[in-house]
Each structure stands twice: as structure tokens, then as C-alpha cells.
Homo-oligomer: A and B are copies of this chain.
Amino acid sequence: MEKWLVGIDLGGTTIKVAFITLDGHIVEKWEIPTNISEYGKHIVSDIAQSIDAKLDQLSEKREKLAAIGMGAPGFIDMKTGFIYHAVNIGWRDYALKEELEKATGLSVTIDNDANIAAIGEMWRGAGDGEGNLLMVTLGTGVGGGIIVNGHIMHGTNGMAGEIGHITSIPEGGASCNCGKSGCIETIASATGIARIATEKAGEDPSSTLNEVLKNNGELKAKDVIEAAENGDQAAIDTLDSVTFHLGLVIANLSNSINPGKIVIGGGVSKAGHILMSRLEKEFKRFALPRVAEGATLTVATLGNDAGVIGGAWLAKHNI
């Protein structure tokens, strides 16, 4: 009997779950809402019940499942699967691995949500099996994951891959949620792009972005990208500035970790060519020639499935 892996990607509003074959193909995937009431105490039983219900629906037994791999937000001890603190979920000092193993009878491996997305892209996505990979996720914030020789890099206390807080503007940059200022997250996240474009539109009355601002009360990153595609100078200047800083960050990091693939994911990556062509130019400008030669810069391909697929990889490698 060919077994299935269970990949789980826990977010603040939904939990993505999938049954996945040993070679990384999704058999079945679904979502359940994240019940954060009572400090998240129902989450584990919700997951276990949902897995059982899905097995019933597919006329399969618990024995069909080999193991669970799960991505969770917050500070995690990856070895023990212990969550120190997950702000959006409400967990504090929570033995997630142990509880989920008890509830499902399956072996569970936990990692950071950004890391499992990176390993998912390595295994079945844009990473194309390349074992040295840098994943950069441009969403509300800027996240990341680093894969070294096919394994997730954790660092000494689980902070490896947190590339959003690399300082791009050492003096006078915008304030960041982390308490510092000038982090790349304040520039290359959707929020950062909107902020910079709002500033640039303010200095340029001819920009079409001012119309959008007037109508919607705010700019979103996708408004900026759309305006840039239509030739709006303030929007183009915004993307030039964003890709200058992000290209420099990625090149500097690549000069040290020498990835074979650099995968750009998250909502902002949907901008496609107008973003990626500029990013590649700046990356090549600041990377050592041999480092640039070794690296392919590419857009993530798994979208919202990266997490569950990465979870399945975790499960597989810990059976």
C-alpha cells in the first residue's frame, strides 16, 4: 500500500491541510478555519477531526497516513516542536508536536511556516530540486527561508532565513514592526511599496496614482504595479527604488551563501516581469560574477500549496 504524507500549513485565519504522495503530489487538499478562541486550544483537535473526516470521505483508514509535517508561525523549537510564542494564534509555551501526535497517533514534525514554503519550492516548485536555495517572500511583510544542501537552515536559535530585517537604509529609514528602522521589509513588502509610491505620487501631481489615492483613500502594491505597467513615472520610480534595495540585499546575501536558485514568492511576486527584470538587473550589478552565474532568479510556482508540500517533505524526511 502506498502511504500518504500529511502536510499542514497553519495560518492565523485558515489551516491548509493536504494528503500528499511520497513523491510530492497532492492527492487531496482542503482548508479549515483557524479557531483562535481560548488561546488556540481547539486547533489540534480540529485538525485531527478534519483528517479523520477526510479519510472517511475517501474511504481510507488512518493506516494510509505515514506522518505529519507542519508549518507554524512564531518562535518554535524545531527539534521538540515546542511553540514558545505564536502571537496570531494565541499559543504560548505550547507542546504542539506532542499534542498533535497524541490526537492523531501519527509522528509529527514542526517547522517555521516560511521555512516549509522554501523547502516546498525546492522539492516540487521553482527550486527544481536545487539543494542550495534562497526563498524570499514578498507579502504584507518580507519573509524568507534558506536551504543548504537540501536542508532547512535554522541557525543557532531558529532565526535563520529572517531576511526581512536586513537593514537597507541604516540612517533615516522608515520604522519597522521589529523595532528597528530601514529594514528591507519597510521597502519591498506590499506595505512598503504602497508607502513609497504614496510619497512619490505626492511629489508628482501628474501621477495617475493620485487619482487612485483620491478614489480609494489608499494605494495598494497592485495599484502601483498596474500604474507602472501603464508608464506612470512615480510608479516606475517606486519599483526602481524597491528593486535597487531588494537586489542589493539579495546579491549581498548571495555573495555569502551562494544559492543555486533564488525564488521570489508572495503576493508581490505576481507583478512578474516588470518587477523581476529590474530585480535581476540590480542583483547582477551587486553579485560577484561567479555567484551571479551560479544563481537563477525565478518566481515561486506553488503559490498557496508551497506550505503543505513543504510540510509533506518534512514528514517524509523524518519518518
Contacts and interface: CB of A to CB of B under 8 A. Distances in A.
A224 interface: no
B255 A162 contact: yes
Interface string A269-308: 0000000000000000010111101110000000000000
Interface stretch (A14-22, A42-50, A51-59, A164-172): A164-172
A86 interface: no
B132 A251 contact: no
Contact of A179 (B158, B179, B289): B289
20 contacts: A148-B148, A148-B153, A154-B258, A157-B260, A157-B290, A157-B294, A158-B258, A159-B258, A159-B288, A159-B290, A160-B256, A161-B256, A162-B256, A162-B288, A170-B244, A170-B286, A179-B289, A252-B252, A253-B256, A257-B257
The 4 closest A-B pairs by CB, nearest first: A155-B258, A156-B260, A159-B258, A157-B294
A293 to B, nearest CB: 7
A178 B291 CA distance: 12
Interface residues of A, number: 46
Given A159-B258, A163-B256, 4 more contacts: A146-B257, A157-B293, A159-B294, A256-B257
Interface in A229-288: 244, 248-249, 251-253, 255-260, 286, 288
Contacts of A258: 154-160, 162
A130 interface: yes
Contacts of A41: none
A313 to B, nearest CB: 18
A311 interface: no
Contacts of A249: 252
A75 to B, nearest CB: 8
Given A159-B288, A288-B159, A166 B256 contact: yes
Contacts of A151: 149
Contacts of A166: 252, 255-256
Given A157-B294, A159-B290, A255 B165 contact: yes
Contacts of A286: 167, 170, 180
Contacts of A155: 132, 257-260, 294
A232 to B, nearest CB: 25
A159 B248 contact: no
A167 B248 contact: yes
B170 A156 contact: no
A261 B257 CA distance: 17
A144 interface: yes
Contacts of A255: 159, 162-163, 165-166
A136 to B, nearest CB: 10
A148 B149 CA distance: 10
